[in-house]
């Protein structure tokens, strides 16, 4: 009888472990990441009603690969706070900034001037605007108010990249999520331009394609328009993984 009881307890523990595993994202091993929803687990991570909300799965995977428990992670454009929420659950320290905070722990600040010391951060994550298609704030100087067809857009984002380089410790990592733009029958390869800019400061580690789901254009009417007027809806974003040189 004791043997049977022991087997029963072990089964319950196994089931409990399985349920916990179900709440954890899959560890990605390829350069194509596709998630069915924005978040995972019982606790919300960011606000899934926020336009442009970052998929929590992305943050989780970056943390597993490039950080340790207790490391400091910074998100200079924190949006609705996905990075903060995931970091707290995974035992990482997090600082989030935004010009229009939508999370109680986000600090109001412009990403072009980050109030942190040089070489003080273990990882930076950025989910930046890729043009002026989304209204992020009422700030006149908001980068998200500049068209991706305007060279000034890239000049301002390069200031963010420079600040990211400054605060990162040598040998540490940056994840930058960005999409391309199709507006008024014109394609702008925003991702390629950002990648080229980042290589001025960082060593490329890899490039991930993240499938775009639950976007406003993923509707029957938009698919009809794409077919009728012969254009493509944006189906993925780039995740550029970069490393600050050890001698940087």
Q: How far is Cα 94 from Cα 83, in angstroms, rounded to an integer?
A: 7
Delineate the domains of the chain, giving CATH numbers in brackets: 37-243 (3.40.50.150)
pTM value is 0.85
Residues 194-211 have a mean pLDDT of 98
**Computed from CA positions of residues 161, 162, 167, 168, in that sequence, does the dihedral angle turn out positive or negative?**
positive
pLDDT digits (tens, 9 = 90+) for 158-202: 999 999 999 999 999 999 999 998 887 888 999 999 999 999 999
Q: How far is Cα 147 from Cα 137, in angstroms, rounded to an integer?
A: 15
Does residue 216 register a pLDDT over 80? Answer: no
pLDDT digits (tens, 9 = 90+) for 35-84: 888 889 888 897 777 777 899 999 999 999 999 999 999 999 998 999 99
**Computed from CA positions of residues 173, 24, 27, 180, in that sequence, does the dihedral angle turn out positive or negative?**
negative
Query: Could you tell me how far CA 157 lies from the centroid of its own chain?
Result: 15
Does residue 214 register a pLDDT over 70? Answer: no
Higher local confidence (pLDDT), 90 or 6? 90
């Amino acid at each position: 009888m004791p043997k049977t009881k022991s087997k029963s307890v072990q089964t319950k523990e196994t089931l409990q472990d399985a349920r916990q595993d179900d709440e954890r994202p899959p560890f990605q091993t390829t350069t194509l990441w596709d998630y069915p929803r924005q978040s995972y687990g019982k606790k919300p991570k960011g606000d899934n009603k926020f336009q442009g909300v970052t998929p929590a799965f992305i943050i989780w995977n970056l943390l597993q690969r490039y950080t340790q428990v207790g490391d400091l992670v910074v998100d200079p454009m924190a949006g609705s706070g996905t990075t903060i929420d995931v970091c707290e659950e995974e035992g990482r320290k997090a600082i989030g900034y935004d010009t229009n905070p939508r999370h109680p722990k986000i600090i109001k600040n412009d990403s072009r001037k980050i109030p942190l010391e040089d070489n003080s951060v273990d990882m930076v994550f950025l989910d930046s605007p890729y043009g002026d298609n989304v209204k992020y704030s009422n700030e006149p100087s908001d980068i998200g108010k500049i068209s991706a067809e305007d060279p000034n857009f890239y000049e301002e984002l390069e200031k963010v990249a420079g600040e990211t380089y400054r605060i990162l410790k040598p040998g540490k990592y940056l994840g930058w999520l960005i999409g391309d733009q199709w507006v008024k029958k014109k394609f702008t390869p925003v991702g390629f331009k950002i990648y080229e800019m980042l290589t001025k400061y960082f060593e490329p580690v890899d490039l991930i394609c993240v499938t775009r789901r639950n976007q406003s254009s993923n509707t029957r009417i938009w698919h009809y328009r794409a077919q009728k007027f012969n254009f493509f809806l944006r189906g993925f974003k780039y995740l550029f993984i970069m490393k600050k040189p050890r001698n940087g």
